A and B are shown apart, each in its own frame.
Chain A
Amino acid sequence: MRTAEDPAASIGARRLLVLFFLGLVVFLYAPIAVLAVFSFNDGDVAFPLQGFTLHWYRDALTNPVLLGALRRSVVVATASSVVAVALGVLAATALVRRRFAGKPIVSALVFSPLVVPYLVFGISLLVIFTAVDKVLTETMGVYIGLGLHAIVIGHVVVSLPYTVLTIMPLLERLSRSLDEAARDLGADAWQTFRRVTLPLLMPAVVSSFLIAFTLSFDEYAIASFLSGTEPTWPVYLFAQLRVPSLLPQLVAISSIVLVASVVLVVSAEVGRRVAERRYGAPAVGA
């Protein structure tokens, strides 16, 4: 820097900014930390602290209703993210690699779930499921009802833009000449995709899966309208908040979920960066 002073901030201003930054970090982490501390407290979630215990964790991990809700969330998140990733790969390939009429409309449609409030989307699915069931029971005596399948359908819709957004950048960087080489060597479209494109896309596929999984696992608004008699973890958590005696258990299990999700997200991100550096780089540029 040629000038003696930093044009961005003086020493005094810089100190203030550091303080502000630290203050915000405390504001962001203190509530989560408090929750974690009280999960080990041998008493209610209130001061004074009573001493260290693990029995809330033991209670939570042996509570069948709670574990059932967690299991349902794992099922819903797995199913919806597998579908969302599959559809995301298809949509991203079409948007990046193909020319077709109406591309702006297709792209707007794919990304539109990002702006529609989950509340509005959730009630829309509730209304359509009710209406369809009404017709089906009257005409054929069939009843679909709400439940995990309905939540999966909704979560795929809201996850799709994220999976497409995660896959598109890598697809843009992958050289088309690799595909063309495979085709020239006699591979058909499916073989090219299966043996060339997909392996190269793997880092983005894995990270989009994890993004979709975390989104679905944590999603409450849509699930609350569609769960019927099968509450997923967030729906169960929300419903149980009114029962004070359960609070320490919920706090304990939430701490586990929190740590697991942080580990998952961070490792996904690290994995993606590493993989991109290793495999993505040589293929960059078309």
Chain B
Amino acid sequence: MAGTVARGGPPRTRAERWGTLGLLSGPLAWLVLFFVLPVGFVAAYSFGVVRIFPTDGGPSLEDWERFLLGRSIYMGLFWKSVAMSFTVSAVVVLLAYPVGYYLALCVRKRKYVLLLLIIAPFLTSFLLRVLAWKVILGDRGVVNSLLYWLHLRPPGDPIPWLLYSQFTVMLVLAYVWVPFVALPIFASLDSLDRSLLEAAGDLGAGRWRTFLRVTLPLSLPGVTAAFVFVFVPTIGEFVTPQLVGGTAGYMYGNAINDLFTKGLDWQAGSVLAMFLLLVVVVLMMIFGRWVQVRSVAA
């Protein structure tokens, strides 16, 4: 851009403007038609502004009111999911931080190869990694059958909380997301100016103090990004709870899924879906400045 400006004169000839329009028309048409329009339609549907089925009510705030004022079970379910994904995000960050720290600050050779080792599982099938845990933790699965075989537990008496519990859902979600957050944490620690650590040492700070006062604060943007990266997709999670959650691990996303696929009430489902979208958008507006879009594709 600097080049064209330097040559003087605005580059916006008529031909170039048409060229830009030509470039953008395809992608924009696709996004407006198949992304903005459907989501907008669901928003309108949630208020009853548009109707699909004869049973749908007319324009009203009733569904929103019932949900927001907690007169249905769904608000409680939402907070349960928030608590679960908050725990998962915290655990994931705590697991990934030491690894990021080790790779960024203690390893000199091959740190990117070792980083790839951590990230690689994220590139494999999500469903498959969840499936693996279902197979491992099932009543006749790998863990329980191993216990029977070793006579550590009588056959036919599986550990009850191993599958279909909140714990399982959180364990599997943490497992799924750890590789993903290792990247932003590593990146923030790797870009840290090493001389700051030496300076802190020269000024008499111990290693622990250096970590608390220098390293940790400087890596907080990466930590925040990592936290948001996990929190945002896990509040709306419904696949993992469906596979390993049972009734105890039922989450807000499952309620939305059921309202639509079991044909219970599409309008109520739209309210729930739009509320989830609202929450995610607000979170991204608050934390967006810490989350560089580009680090997703790094």
Could you tell me the distance between the alpha carbons of A113 and B175 in the complex, rounded to whole angstroms? Answer: 24
- Contact A110/B105 with A31-B136, A115-B281, A261-B124 known, Cβ cut-off 8 Å: no
Could you tell me the distance between the alpha carbons of A261 and B129 in the complex, rounded to whole angstroms? Answer: 13
Q: Is A276 an interface residue (CB 8 A)?
A: no
Write out the residue numbers on chain B whose beta carbons fall within 8 Å of the beta carbon of A121. Answer: 35, 38-39
- Contact A109/B127 with A87-B26, A124-B42 known, Cβ cut-off 8 Å: no
Could you tell me the distance between the alpha carbons of A121 and B203 in the complex, rounded to whole angstroms? Answer: 54
Could you tell me the distance between the alpha carbons of A161 and B140 in the complex, rounded to whole angstroms? Answer: 42
- Contact A46/B145 with A21-B99, A31-B136, A157-B35 known, Cβ cut-off 8 Å: yes
Which of the candidate stretches B15-23, B70-78, B216-224 sits at the interface with the other chain?
A: B15-23
Could you tell me the distance between the alpha carbons of A114 and B194 in the complex, rounded to whole angstroms? Answer: 33
Which of the candidate stretches A51-59, A60-68, A91-99, A140-148 sits at the interface with the other chain?
A: A91-99
Within 8 A of A (CB), among B1-47: 1-3, 11-12, 16-17, 19-20, 23-24, 26-28, 30-31, 34-39, 41-42, 45
- Contact A47/B142 with A10-B207, A131-B52 known, Cβ cut-off 8 Å: yes
- Contact A90/B236 with A7-B207, A156-B30, A251-B135 known, Cβ cut-off 8 Å: no
Q: Is A44 an interface residue (CB 8 A)?
A: yes
The answer on a CB contact under 8 Å between B135 and A45 is: yes
Could you tell me the distance between the alpha carbons of A257 and B125 in the complex, rounded to whole angstroms? Answer: 8
Within 8 A of A (CB), among B126-155: 126-129, 131-136, 140-142, 144-146, 148-149
Write out the residue numbers on chain B whose beta carbons fall within 8 Å of the beta carbon of A114. Answer: 293, 296
Say how far B237's CB is from chain A's closest CB, in angstroms: 8
Say how far B298's CB is from chain A's closest CB, in angstroms: 9
From A18, A118, A134, A225, name the one whose CB has the most chain B CB atoms within 10 angstroms.
Answer: A118
**Is the contact region of chain B dominated by helix, strand, or loop, or is it mixed?**
helix
- Choose one: A106, A128, A176, A247; the contact of B38 (CB below 8 Å): A128
Could you tell me the distance between the alpha carbons of A228 and B131 in the complex, rounded to whole angstroms? Answer: 23
- Contact A106/B24 with A48-B149, A121-B35 known, Cβ cut-off 8 Å: yes
Say how far B214's CB is from chain A's closest CB, in angstroms: 9
- Contact A116/B124 with A7-B200, A21-B102 known, Cβ cut-off 8 Å: no
- Interface 1/0 per residue, A157-183 and B, CB below 8 Å: 100111001100100000011000000
Say how far A169's CB is from chain B's closest CB, in angstroms: 8
Write out the residue numbers on chain B whose beta carbons fall within 8 Å of the beta carbon of A124. Answer: 38-39, 41-42, 273
**Is the contact region of chain A dominated by helix, strand, or loop, or is it mixed?**
helix
Q: Is B187 an interface residue (CB 8 A)?
A: no
- Choose one: B39, B103, B175; the contact of A31 (CB below 8 Å): B175
The answer on a CB contact under 8 Å between B41 and A3 is: no
Could you tell me the distance between the alpha carbons of A221 and B126 in the complex, rounded to whole angstroms? Answer: 11
Could you tell me the distance between the alpha carbons of A127 and B145 in the complex, rounded to whole angstroms? Answer: 44
The answer on a CB contact under 8 Å between B3 and A176 is: yes
Q: Is A283 an interface residue (CB 8 A)?
A: no
Write out the residue numbers on chain B whose beta carbons fall within 8 Å of the beta carbon of A47. Answer: 142, 145-146, 148-149
The answer on a CB contact under 8 Å between B37 and A87 is: no
From A31, A118, A166, A257, name the one whose CB has the most chain B CB atoms within 10 angstroms.
Answer: A31
The answer on a CB contact under 8 Å between A106 and B280 is: no
Say how far B218's CB is from chain A's closest CB, in angstroms: 13
- Contact A120/B118 with A35-B128, A162-B297 known, Cβ cut-off 8 Å: no
Q: Is B89 an interface residue (CB 8 A)?
A: no
Q: Is A286 an interface residue (CB 8 A)?
A: yes
Write out the residue numbers on chain B whose beta carbons fall within 8 Å of the beta carbon of A17. Answer: 98-99, 101-102, 106
The answer on a CB contact under 8 Å between B135 and A115 is: no
Q: Is B59 an interface residue (CB 8 A)?
A: no
Q: Is A38 an interface residue (CB 8 A)?
A: yes
Q: Is B249 an interface residue (CB 8 A)?
A: no
- A7-B198, A157-B34, A254-B128 known, 4 other contacts, Cβ within 8 Å: A9-B105, A114-B296, A160-B30, A258-B125
24 residue pairs bridging A and B, Cβ less than 8 Å apart: A7-B201, A9-B101, A9-B105, A13-B207, A24-B118, A28-B121, A28-B175, A35-B128, A86-B26, A100-B17, A100-B24, A119-B253, A123-B270, A123-B273, A124-B42, A126-B260, A127-B42, A127-B52, A128-B42, A157-B31, A189-B19, A225-B261, A241-B134, A254-B128
Top 5 A-B pairs, shortest CB-CB distance: A117-B236, A46-B145, A124-B38, A7-B197, A165-B297
Residues of A in contact with B (beta carbons under 8 Å apart): 1-3, 5-10, 13-14, 17-18, 20-21, 24-25, 27-29, 31-32, 34-35, 38, 44-48, 83, 86-88, 90-91, 93-94, 98-100, 106, 109-121, 123-128, 130-131, 134, 153-154, 156-157, 160-162, 165-166, 169, 176-177, 189, 211, 214, 218, 220-221, 224-225, 234, 237-238, 241, 247, 250-251, 254, 257-258, 261-262, 265, 286
